[in-house]
Amino acid sequence: MAEKIQKPNFAATMMSSVPYRDTERALDVIIENFPEAPCLPVMTRGIRWVLEGIPCVVINREKREILLDPSTERENEILEFYDRFESGDIDYFATTPEVAPFFYAMIERLKNRRPPEMKWVVFHTIGPLLLGDMLKQPDGTPSIHHETLRDILIKGMNMKTRWLERKIKEEIEDVEVVADLPETTLVNFTSAGGTGNREEIISAINEGFSSLTCLTWIHCCANIDWSLLTDTKIDVINFDAYQHADKVVLYAKEFKDFIERGGMIGWGIVPVVEETLTQVSVPSLVERIEKAIDFFVKKGIDEKLLASASWVLPCCDAVMLTPDQTELVFNMTREISEVMREKYGFKKN
């Protein structure tokens, strides 16, 4: 775990993907609602922004799909990749302004018009297990099941994340960086019909975060064996507390050990599904968090320690909502943060 500057004390932040097409509006809404921990937005549904520097990529524009092809014709690309990795050439894995102008726009905004409350800058890439599950080989098999491609994705996402961490620290002084490599399909590896091996999953997650000096974070919105994450070296476990809080607390012992050694929890409490969003309110969502905290406390977790180690955010990305609905989600997240801080006596900046 990284050396942490300070505990979040129910600080509010977000997942990165947003439905906005107006960059200035996106930046304004994010900074207005999350001035302590603004997040670099992802303003595309594509994934090309994480693939620069990754070999074996095949883009089929007619079928609108991206594959990874490990055939012998790609051997030179693979050798180049490993040469760059072994030499520590982080710049080779840079995310360029051409594919992610939204990253650069937010970094520039925070550099020149920094919110006075800002303590953290959050960014997301893609967890290697998730990416390997998404990207198929030419025969339709997930690339994560190919030994070489699996290794490439783990190392490639690690280098991409290291580059983004360095980029933010170079541009923005005196801020703590938070790196999230979401693993939203872990249930595919851990279910009864899954193909995952516990040790391999934990090792892949840890290697994906290796050599980082920032706070490390994993978002998983499915219901999984949560000891898979509590047994890793990550700093923050972020789950869908709206749907799965009652299931997560079944792992209270594992979370107790995790929190006592410095781990943190991200309460993904505001739903990002339109039908559900219309049925909730700030008070009802606060009540859900309070019930989960009470259960954890009854299982032996110190309440003040848990509260100080808590973040508040939406359940998942808001990309399927409208811009106005997204703003509502962000407003509710901020308000829940304020309520929880008042309840536990955490001072505002």
Domain membership flag for residue 68: no
The predicted structure's pLDDT at residue 24: 97
DSSP symbols for 23-75: HHHHHHHHHHH-SSS-B--B--S--GGGTTT-TTEEEETTTTEEEE--SGGGH
Give the model's pLDDT for residue 300. Answer: 94
Quick check: is 223 in a domain? Answer: yes
Write out the two tokens for 100.
């992610």
CB 35 within 8 A of CB 115: yes
Q: What angle do CA 80, 81, 87 make, to 5 degrees?
A: 90
Taking only the tens place, the pLDDT of each residue in 215-232 is 999 999 888 899 999 999
Instruction: Please state the three-class secondary structure of 166-234 as a single string.
Output: HHHHHHCCCCEEEEECCCCCHHHHHCCCCCCCHHHHHHHHHHHCCCCCCEEEEEECCCCCCHHHHCCCC
Q: Is residue 121 part of a domain?
A: yes
**pLDDT value of residue 63:** 81
C-alpha triplet 286, 20, 26: angle, nearest 5°: 70
State residue 347's pLDDT score.
74
Domain-located, residue 74? no
| Stretch (H or E) spanning 79 | helix 75-86
Residue 291 lies in a domain: yes
Is 54 contained in some domain? no
Determine the Cα angle at 347 with ends 344 and 349, to 5°: 145
| DSSP state at residue 243 | H
* Whole-angstrom distance, CA of residue 158 vs CA of residue 298: 38
Looking at residue 188, its pLDDT comes to 74
- Number of domains the chain is built from: 1
What residue spans of 261-322 are helical by DSSP H? 274-277, 282-298, 303-308
Q: Write out the residue range of the structural domain in which residue 267 sits.
A: 11-44+101-344
Mean pLDDT by 10 residues, the chain (349 residues): 74 97 97 98 93 94 89 92 97 96 98 96 95 94 94 97 98 96 83 68 94 95 90 96 92 96 96 94 97 94 96 96 97 98 84
Domain CATH code at residue 207? 3.20.20.210
Residue 229 lies in a domain: yes
Q: Phi/psi of residue 185, each to 5°?
A: -110, 20
Q: What is the pLDDT of residue 186?
A: 86
119 part of a folded domain: yes
Find the radius of gyration of the CA atoms of the chain: 20
pTM above 0.85, yes or no: yes
